[in-house]
């Protein structure tokens, strides 16, 4: 059991050391968002009740961005476009936000974003996977606007690290 906990120690808390500060999603200028690969987190300013405990950061979506049109700037602009124009496609979390009318509970003006630039899409994918695993271990489910899980963190640890049910126990 201690080997499992040692393996998972890095996933117990969010490490924001390489991340920007939170900025308002609705007012950040596209030019201030890097046109580079990276991972991003969109949250609201209020806590959100989750399966295992309350998410005090209010995380709604954890995502990753690559190159070309899918950089951090491109992905966050697509989220904004989809979130503000119901039926618009191009970002599933933004589409879900608008389609399921998340704005009734989390107005666009209450959303904030932070990001971490990475050297490549692969590194961004790995960072997104670590964040999603941390979120899952902490709250017992994915953030509300994430609809699929990034398995990279599970695969890098090995599936047997999760055989012990206490890994997912309340803290």
Q: Quick: pLDDT tens for 64-123.
A: 999 988 999 999 999 999 999 998 899 999 999 999 999 999 999 999 999 999 999 999
Query: For residue 44, what are the β-bridge partners?
Result: 111
DSSP 71-95: SHHHHHHHHHHHHHSTT--S-HHHH
- 150 falls in which pLDDT band (50, 70, 90)? confident
Looking at residue 158, the DSSP 8-state letter turns out to be: -
Average pLDDT rounded to a whole number, residues 7-30: 87
Residue 1 is predicted with a pLDDT of 41
Length of the chain: 171
Q: What are the sequence ranges of the domains in the chain?
A: 2-151
């Amino acid at each position: 059991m201690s080997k499992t906990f040692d393996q998972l120690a890095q996933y117990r808390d969010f490490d924001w050391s390489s991340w920007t500060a939170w900025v308002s999603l609705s007012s950040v200028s596209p030019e201030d968002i890097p046109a580079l690969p990276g991972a991003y987190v969109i949250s609201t300013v209020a806590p959100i009740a989750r399966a295992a405990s309350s998410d005090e950061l209010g995380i709604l979506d954890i995502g990753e961005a690559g190159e070309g049109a899918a950089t951090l700037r491109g992905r966050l602009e697509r989220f904004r476009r989809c979130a503000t124009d119901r039926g618009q496609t191009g970002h599933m979390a933004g589409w879900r936000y608008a389609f399921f009318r998340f704005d009734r509970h989390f107005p666009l003006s209450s959303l904030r974003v932070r990001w971490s630039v990475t050297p490549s899409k692969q590194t961004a994918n790995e960072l997104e996977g670590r964040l999603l695993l941390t979120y899952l271990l902490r709250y017992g489910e994915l953030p509300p606007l994430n609809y699929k899980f990034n398995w990279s963190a599970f695969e890098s640890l090995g599936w047997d690290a999760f055989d012990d049910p206490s890994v997912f126990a309340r803290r």
